[in-house]
Amino acid sequence: MPNNQDDDLNEGPVVVRRPVYDAGMKLEDEVKAGASGPAFENARAKVHECQAAGDTADAAWWEEIFRFLMWRESVAAGTETIILEDGETYDYENEEVIRPGLNQPRNDRENR
C-alpha cells in the first residue's frame, strides 16, 4: 500500500494506484466543471454515505481516494506523483517502482 496512508503528510512523492488516481482526477474534473466543494471533501462524503449504507467495500474504496486527494492537497506544489500500474509496488527506501514478478525497478519516468 502506498505511503499515503501515513499521517506524515507534506513529503513526497505522492504514490497512488492507477484506479485511485483516475477516480481522484475524475472528482477534481467534476469540481472544475462546477461541482461544489473540494474533491477530497466529495470523496469523504462518499465514504460516509457508504458507511451509512453498510457498504464497507465501497467505503474503503472512497477512503483510499480521499486519502490520495488529501495527500495531494498537503504536499508542496510540484511534488512528484508516481502512479502504480496493476501489481506494481513502490520501494520507498530505494525510491523506485517494482514491477510484479520481475522484481526489477521500473526506471521510466513517465509517471513522475
Q: Mind listing the pLDDT tens digit for each residue in 54-97?
A: 999 999 999 999 999 999 988 888 899 999 999 999 999 989 99
What predicted TM-score, i.e. pTM, was given to this entire model?
0.78
| Residue 94 to residue 14: CA distance in whole angstroms | 15
Confidence of residue 9 (pLDDT cuts 50, 70, 90): very low
Residue length, the chain?
112
Q: What angle in degrees, to the nearest 10, is found between the helix axes of 39-52 and 56-74? A: 160
Residue 65's alpha-carbon distances to 10, 51, 95, 111, in angstroms, are 17, 15, 22, 18
Find out whether 92 and 24 touch, Cβ atoms under 8 Å: no
Domain ranges across the chain: 3-82
